[in-house]
Amino acid sequence: MDPPVRLAELMATLSMATDLAMGQPMEQALRSCLIAVRLGEALGLGRILAYAGALLGLVSAFVNLFRLVGRATR
């Protein structure tokens, strides 16, 4: 039986799809998350909080872009 998919793996996959859809170099979002984690550690925040926050921000930017494109094509 395969192990369950972790949330971080799912978020990383979505971030790579976001990079592709927005014309960014592959793993741009993951690099941003690495920077966010390092900044979060320097500020005393948890690694998971910084990582998830950065990924959610990037994925939500893609969702907003998708909404704008959808409105423009109507």
Q: SS3 for 30-44, per residue?
A: HHHHHHHHHHHHHCC
In terms of pLDDT, which residue wins out, 13 or 68?
13
Q: pLDDT-based confidence at 10, cuts 50/70/90?
A: confident
Residue with tokens 């005393």: 44
Q: pLDDT-based confidence at 74, cuts 50/70/90?
A: low
**Whole-angstrom distance, CA of residue 26 vs CA of residue 48:** 22
pLDDT tens across 24-61, in order?
888 887 787 788 888 888 888 777 777 777 777 766 76
* pTM given for the model: 0.57
Q: What is the pLDDT of residue 3?
A: 84
